[in-house]
């Protein structure tokens, strides 16, 4: 965010600089509109008077830029104007050099129309030059020009605030009579318009040229207007801006669809400043940490796989419950080598993580509801195999036999096949603890982690996770 001036105008980007101050693209927070804000460079009395004069100009004409408002903060002041986005005649000549004659004639008509409104308000501009003729960004369509910057303008009908002093204006565009008599009249603005016309037809600034000969592609009718406006004697110039407009009414200078030639008025001021956005995949971030094994969905691939416990036998089929998720509708088969999980955007790594957490949580709730003895569910019966011992790998529990010492079916009901010699510490018949443990190394479940039990031979054991994966009863 840029500097906020007077709590209202946010200065976004510097778009121009002049003798009295700087011009910024700004956002008016009160209206939500973009404006051009001219910030006063100095705060001496004379400069403040010029500032007040400039911001007070309220000429409503299609070819005049009038101030919108002003604000002050501490020792600084600014005033705002509409944003004109196509640069100026100075930038256009800088981009293309000499401009096509019919384009010059059209721009002169619009400049003189705006100047006629200024003079009708009793104001002498005094600083007509290419940089103060602004343009809409019209591309190759008909241009639209504005007279701007009334910083040194004089209202002929208002009292003079300062005594006559040094000549104000831009060298090369000052009328000759200013040096001899210091006269302030509409004629000095017309002379400056003629010098602007010479810059457009020649592509050269006044300091880089003498009075040029007529360019080969410049019609006589246009050249006569230029010569009339730049006459040394103000009496030889048109009597007013409207009189000069009449000289441009020649049909030879009428606007045509091809008048722009190869010239295009580009957009020089964007109303949507680019704000850099952060792209996670482009800045070399560390990949997200892997989720705990119990929270990772079996179908969700991970870039950092970790060992997982041995898969438990599926629960017996039964009617769906409110806590069990509905089966997903079958979809089209995946292409060979394609992931079964839809990819997620690298711009939002939390999305995939949240999905994996949700799936893992649902799976965990389902396991607890199905397998926990408090729910009354009955575990599935594992296939028959020899009972495990302390020296054999952990495998699912098996059906006991009479010759298998200490073998007991892992159920919550007594087993008639347990011999008295294999029962724990003073019990007879069968073991009646919550979950019967056959021996050290017997597989256990995730829900039993940390649970302390006693084996049939009297050994105290605890359910712990194994380094190679899975869970087993071990001596703590």
Q: Express each pLDDT in 225-272 by its tens digit.
A: 999 999 999 999 999 999 999 999 999 999 999 999 999 999 988 776
In sequence order, what are the residues at sequence separation of 6 or more whose Cβ sits closer than 8 angstroms to the Cβ of residue 367?
A: 312, 446, 447
348 vs 282, higher pLDDT: 348
Q: Could you give the CA distance from residue 37 to residue 160 in angstroms, rounded to a whole number?
A: 27
CA distance readout (Å), 256 to 83, 232, 253, 403: 28, 33, 9, 111
User: What would the two tokens of residue 154 be?
Assistant: 């004089």
337 vs 107, higher pLDDT: 107
Q: Could you give the CA distance from residue 447 to residue 450 in angstroms, rounded to a whole number?
A: 9
Longest dimension (CA), the chain: 136
pLDDT at position 299: 42
pTM of the model: 0.56
Residue boundaries of the structural domains of the chain: 4-81, 89-253, 294-315+348-375, 383-476
| Domain 89-253, CATH homologous superfamily name and number | Transferase(Phosphotransferase) domain 1 (1.10.510.10)
Name the region of 15 (left: φ>0; alpha: ψ -120 to 50; beta: rest): alpha
Architecture of domain 4-81: 2-Layer Sandwich (3.30)
Average pLDDT over every residue of 118-133: 94
pLDDT at position 55: 65
> Does the CA dihedral 151-152-157-159 come out positive or negative?
positive
Q: Express each pLDDT in 431-466 by its tens digit.
A: 334 445 667 888 887 767 778 888 877 888 888 888
| HEC profile of 212-266 | CCCCCCCCHHHHHHHHHHCCCCHHHCCCCHHHHHHHCCCHHHCCCCCCCCCCCEC
Q: Could you give the CA distance from residue 283 to residue 453 in angstroms, rounded to a whole number?
A: 51
Q: Express each pLDDT in 410-424 by its tens digit.
A: 444 443 443 343 334
Number of other CB atoms surrounding residue 414 within 10 Å: 14
Q: Could you give the CA distance from residue 12 to residue 9 in angstroms, rounded to a whole number?
A: 9
On average, the pLDDT of the chain sits at 73
What does the DSSP assignment read for 84-152? --S-BHHHHHHHHSSPPHHHHHHHHHHHHHHHHHHHHTTEE-----GGGEEE---BTS---EEE---TT
pLDDT at position 170: 87
Residue 232 near residue 147 (C-beta atoms within 8 A): no
pLDDT above 80 for 112: yes
What does the DSSP assignment read for 409-472? --SSS--TT--GGGSSTT--S---SSS-B-STT-B--GGGBT-EEEBTTS-EEEEEE-TTSSEE
């Amino acid at each position: 965010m840029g500097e906020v001036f007077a709590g209202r105008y946010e200065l976004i980007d510097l778009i121009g600089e002049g003798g009295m101050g700087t011009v910024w693209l700004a956002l008016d927070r009160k209206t939500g509109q973009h404006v051009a804000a001219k910030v006063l460079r100095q705060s001496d009395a004379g400069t403040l008077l010029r500032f007040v004069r400039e911001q007070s100009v309220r000429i409503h004409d299609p070819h005049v830029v009038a101030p919108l408002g002003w604000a002050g903060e501490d020792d600084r002041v600014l005033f705002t104007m509409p944003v004109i986005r196509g640069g100026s005649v100075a930038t256009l000549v800088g981009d293309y050099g000499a401009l096509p004659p019919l384009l010059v004639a059209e721009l002169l008509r619009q400049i003189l129309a705006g100047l006629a409104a200024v003079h009708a308000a009793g104001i002498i501009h005094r600083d007509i030059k290419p940089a103060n003729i602004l343009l809409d960004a019209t591309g190759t369509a008909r241009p639209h020009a504005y007279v701007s910057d009334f910083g040194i303008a004089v209202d002929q009908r208002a009292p003079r605030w300062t005594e006559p002093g040094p000549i104000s204006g831009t060298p090369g565009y000052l009328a000759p009579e200013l040096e001899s008599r210091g006269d302030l009249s509409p004629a000095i603005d017309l002379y400056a318009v003629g010098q602007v016309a010479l810059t457009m037809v020649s592509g050269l600034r006044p300091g880089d040229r003498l009075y040029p000969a007529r360019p080969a592609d410049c019609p006589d009718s246009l050249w006569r207007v230029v010569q009339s406006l730049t006459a040394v004697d103000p009496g030889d110039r048109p009597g007013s801006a409207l009189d000069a407009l009449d000289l441009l009414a020649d049909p030879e200078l009428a606007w045509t669809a091809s008048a722009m030639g190869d010239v295009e008025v580009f957009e020089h001021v964007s109303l949507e400043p680019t704000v850099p956005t952060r792209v996670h995949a482009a800045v070399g971030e560390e990949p997200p940490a892997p989720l705990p094994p119990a929270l990772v969905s079996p179908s969700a691939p991970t870039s950092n796989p970790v060992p997982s416990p041995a898969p438990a036998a599926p629960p017996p089929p039964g009617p769906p419950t409110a806590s069990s998720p509905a089966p997903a509708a079958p979809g089209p088969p995946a292409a060979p080598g394609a992931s079964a999980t839809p990819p997620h955007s690298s711009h939002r790594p939390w999305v995939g993580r949240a999905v994996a957490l949700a799936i893992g949580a649902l799976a965990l709730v389902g396991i607890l509801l199905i397998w926990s003895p408090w729910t009354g569910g009955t575990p599935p019966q594992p296939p028959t195999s020899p009972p495990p011992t302390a020296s054999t790998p952990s495998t699912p529990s098996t059906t006991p036999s009479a010759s298998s010492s200490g073998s007991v079916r892992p159920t919550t009901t007594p087993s008639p096949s347990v011999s008295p010699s294999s029962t724990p510490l003073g019990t007879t018949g069968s073991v009646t603890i919550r979950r019967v443990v056959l021996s050290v190394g017997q597989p256990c479940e995730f829900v039993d982690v940390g649970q302390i039990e006693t084996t049939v031979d009297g050994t105290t054991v605890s359910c712990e996770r194994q380094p190679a994966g899975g869970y087993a009863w071990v001596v703590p």
